[in-house]
Amino acid sequence: MSSFWNAYIFVLTGIFLLGIIGLIYFTRRMPGDDKIGETTGHKFDDIEEYNNPMPKWWLNLFYITIVFAVGYMIYYPVGNWEGISKWTSANQLEAETAAYNEKYGDIYLRFLDTPVEELQNNAQAKRIGQRLFVNNCSLCHGQNAQGYYGFPNLTDNDWLYGSDADQIKHSINFGRMGQMPAWKDTLGTQGVSAVTEYVLSISGNEYIESQAKKGEVIYQQMCVACHGAQGQGNIALGAPNLTNNIWLYDLPEQELRRDIMTTVMNGRAGNMPAWKDILGEEKVHLVSGYVYSLRN
Ligand code: HEC
Ligand code: HEC
């Protein structure tokens, strides 16, 4: 905090406290004062204000609050003054986090020896995994892991990077980044159109036959390396299967043909963050178990 604000807080609080003390001093009335019983002259609607001393208990409460305020400023940090307690919110958080970890840390650790495949058989492990998922993953993958445009559905049979426990855990630990190149410059709009019709044809959608024929030639040259000769995909690269009619990039309100064209024209780079350092090994293990249990 700058020294200006530091002084500002001290001076303002000081003036305020002195003002309160002054107010009490100048308006004090002792029992036995000769003015007792007089009115102040204020009168409204036949109600008159008497000039009586404050009740003792009330006045004492007032003194206590002043003493409290001064004590508070000495005990707690104000501006650059650390206070005799040396309290800071960061320290408090640290202490609470340490206590939390001591209490719950082993709840996560307890399951580290259970294989990912078997975590779903333990109700507690599954519940914790699900909670971790809702808190960390649902933003992108959806509350029920059903996915959305650009974010894979984790409850279906279609896996970009494989559905084995190890593969799922690897996806979560280290993140993933699928790299689909852009073909606009190489193929031109006509080439992209043609190969789009071919992709529509191998995925069981309506297509234009003459175009698809041309597209197949392009596909066999440009796309097989990643998507495979039959369009079955490649989990080593995260290249999706193009034959099962399950799409990563398919806006509900848009024709599929246009989604595929956009993908092939401009390329894609879906980015799954790495969680190893954020969640730690034991939580990645538990959330892997939950994702594994969603496999269909
Ligand atoms: C910022 C958005 C985002 C968050 C948060 C996120 N993911 Fe992902 N995730 C993605 C994207 C995008 C992909 C697809 C990557 C690609 O296209 O190559 C993905 C892929 C995956 C895959 C691989 C799916 C497959 O088909 O092989 C798994 C498993 C996964 N995520 C699990 C998780 C879990 C568990 C969490 C929470 C700990 C999580 N994700 C959080 C965006 C996210
Ligand atoms: C270098 C490897 C590579 C090549 C070559 C490649 N792709 Fe891809 N393709 C990918 C990857 C990886 C993805 C997934 C992108 C992501 O995860 O964001 C993808 C995604 C796609 C998708 C979107 C699938 C969906 O589920 O929405 C289509 C369609 C596609 N590619 C078609 C093609 C066509 C057609 C060609 C040839 C002209 C081609 N790809 C060439 C790697 C490749």
pLDDT interval class at 30 (50, 70, 90): low
Domain-embedded: residue 89: no
Q: Are residues 283 and 149 in the same domain?
A: yes
The number of C-alpha atoms within 13 Å of 232 and in the hemisphere containing its C-beta is: 5
At 36 the pLDDT is 62
What digits encode the pLDDT tens for the residues 196-244? 999 999 999 999 999 999 999 999 999 999 999 999 999 999 999 999 9
Identify whether residues 103 and 32 lie together within a single domain: no
Residues 263 and 283 in one domain: no
Instruction: Kindly report the protein residue whose alpha carbon is nearest to atom 36 of ligand 1.
Output: 137
Q: What is the CATH number of the domain that holds 139?
A: 1.10.760.10
Average pLDDT for residues 164-186, to the nearest whole number?
Answer: 97
**Alpha carbon separation from 36 to 30, 32, 55, 57, 76 (Å, rounded):** 9, 7, 13, 19, 42
Q: Would you say residue 212 lies in a domain?
A: yes
Residue 131, in any domain of the structure: yes
User: By C-alpha distance, which of 177, 167, 175 is closest to 277?
Assistant: 175
Residues 70-96 have a mean pLDDT of 88
Q: Residue 67: which domain range?
A: 3-75
In a domain, 87, yes or no: no
- Per the prediction, the chain carries an average pLDDT of 91
User: With b meaning 16 or more CB within 10 Å and e meaning fewer, what string describes 43-53?
Assistant: eeeeeeeeeeb
Nearest CA to ligand 1 atom 31: 272
Residue 86 in any domain: the answer is no
In the structure encoding, which two tokens stand for residue 47, read together?
A: 């109600």
Asked if 283 and 207 sit in the same domain, the reply is no
Q: 126 and 149 share a domain?
A: yes
State the pLDDT at residue 59: 86
One domain for residues 207 and 65: no
Per-residue pLDDT tens over the stretch 112-152: 999 999 999 999 999 999 999 999 999 999 999 999 999 99
The structural domain count of the chain equals 3
This prediction's pTM: 0.74
Would 250 be classed as within a structural domain? yes
Mean pLDDT throughout 4-30?
84
Residue 33 binned pLDDT confidence (cut-offs 50, 70, 90): low
Per-residue DSSP letters for 227-275? H-TTS--BTTTTBPPSSS---SS--TTS-HHHHHHHHHHH-B--EEPP-
pLDDT of residue 53: 76
To test the ligand 1 pocket, which listed residue (116, 126, 156, 176) has its Cβ within 8 A of the most ligand atoms? 176
Residues 98, 147 within the same domain = yes
Cα–Cα nearest to 241, from 144, 161, 170? 161
The answer to whether the CB of 284 is under 6 A from ligand 1 is no
Query: Domain check: are 105 and 131 in the same one?
Result: yes
Give residue 31's pLDDT.
62
Tell me, using a 6 A CB cutoff, whether residue 251 lines ligand 1.
no
Ligand number with the minimum distance to the CA of 258? 2
Q: Which ligand is nearest the CA of 220, by number?
A: 2
Whether 188 and 62 map to the same domain: the answer is no
The predicted pLDDT at position 211 comes to 96
Query: In this structure, what token pair is assigned to residue 22?
Result: 């002054």
Question: In which residue are the tokens 């246009």 written?
Answer: 258
Average pLDDT for 15-39? 78
